[in-house]
Structure 1
Amino acid sequence: MMSSSARNRRADARRSRAAILDAATQVLNAEPGASLEAIAGAAGVTRPTVYAHFPSREQLLLAVVDRITEEAVAAMDAADLDTGPAADALMCLLDAGAQVTRRYPVLLQLISAHPVSPEADHDRHTPVADRIRRVIQRGRQTGEFDDRLPVDWLVAATIRLGHAASEEQDADRLSALAAQDALRISLLRILGATAQPDSSPWPR
């Protein structure tokens, strides 16, 4: 049986780790070149404590990526993916994730500058891909989407189209409404949706 002092130490370690990740997320999003000392100060811990949890800056960045992914997945789950038309659920899922990632534009640029292996990139997207797959499969079961293309390909295409819509909006090449409209139309077409949306003029 674990002693109360051991439980307290573990609880303290969890709190320290959470504080470091919170601080790193906010500090690096404001100043990507911030030092570990600055992050430690914002977290209210010492630099050795940061290193005890994250032996390198790269490991800290990877942990921050995991934290943002968890936040995005929680937002997706809150969108209630199992009710209503599958197309609407898919758009809500992507929008929920995009709203989270748009909070950290500088930080995500910093992260994207650090190349990762295909395996690591796959693992990073797995929680999101699982939820997209669930909605697509539900749409197939209800007859909203056809089954001409492999599900895994459609999941990958959905993720990339979601990124493309966000990038076009962030670059001011499309308004938020036009980006959402383009994403919805594109997705419904590749999914073989039985009901296509009405065309709407885009702001120029």
Structure 2
Amino acid sequence: MPSTASPAPRPRRADAERSRAAVLDAATALLAERPDAGMRDIAAAAGVTRQTVYAHFASRDALVGAVTERVTGEAVAAMDEAGLEEGPAAEALTRLQDIGWRLFRRNPVVIQAGTDPVRGGSSETLHEPVDARLTRLVERGQRDGEFDPAPPAAWLVAVVTALGHAAGHEVAAGRMSADEGAAALRTATLRALGAPPPVPGDAPSPS
């Protein structure tokens, strides 16, 4: 009896893959400089027609989502290289947040997409890798006596995430500078976790 299974999808042509990559590269670079850039601007930066951009991404939101996914992947890779399992949990958490702020400064469109400088993604799928790392950090800090052991770790992660949203939106709205937002987030986070506040001048710059 002949098989009724659907044939495997044909691989995307190499030129189409290159074209999509060029669009995504151009969008990532251009949206970092001009978060309000439109599809026509992105097409021009990529050296393709607007129709070509739409052939790869059905809408601007879809393209921004792809940029956000790429940036999130880069952030997660940077977090894995930052030694979050090493040293005091509070210091590791500061390193994690500094990575988020560097991401924010280079890619403000991520904030406009409804994300924040701590979590970095606009969907639960994108949030998960960062949330997992943040949860491990909080649990380690609680075990080691650095953070308040009473609240569930999931609650503390939710609080830290909400603080990241608040700080990111204040900076995006122009009510705080990036440095002010980073410092406020760091202090508020440590207070929420029941850890001592940072000593002025000891915290690294998010630049």
* TM-score, structure 1 as length reference: 0.73
More helix by share: 1
1:1-204 matched pairs, under 5 angstroms: 10-105=13-108, 107-108=109-110, 110-112=112-114, 121-168=123-170, 171=174, 173=176, 176=179, 179-193=181-195, 196-197=196-197, 200=200
Aligned Cα root-mean-square deviation (Å): 3.1
Equivalents in 2 of 1:175, 1:52: separation in Å?
36
* TM-score, structure 2 as length reference: 0.72
Equivalents in 1 of 2:25, 2:41: separation in Å?
13
Q: Deviations for 1:118-144, whole angstroms, at most 9, x for unmatched residues?
A: xx6433322221111121122223232
Q: Deviations for 1:67-95, whole angstroms, at most 9, x for unmatched residues?
A: 22222222222221110100000011011
Are the structure 2 counterparts of residues 134 and 10 from structure 1 closer, same or farther at C-alpha, using a change threshold of 3 Å? farther
Q: Deviations for 1:137-193, whole angstroms, at most 9, x for unmatched residues?
A: 2222323223211211211211222333445556364672x5444433322232233
SS in 2 for 1:149: coil
Contact 2:164 2:185 survives alignment (8 Å): yes
Contact 1:165 1:183 survives alignment (8 Å): yes
Q: Deviations for 1:42-90, whole angstroms, at most 9, x for unmatched residues?
A: 2233434322221222211221221222222222222211101000000
Equivalents in 2 of 1:164, 1:200: separation in Å?
22
5+ residue gaps in structure 1? 1-5, 114-119
Equivalenced residues, count: 185
- What code does the residue aligned with 1:62 have? G
Equivalents in 2 of 1:102, 1:161: separation in Å?
17
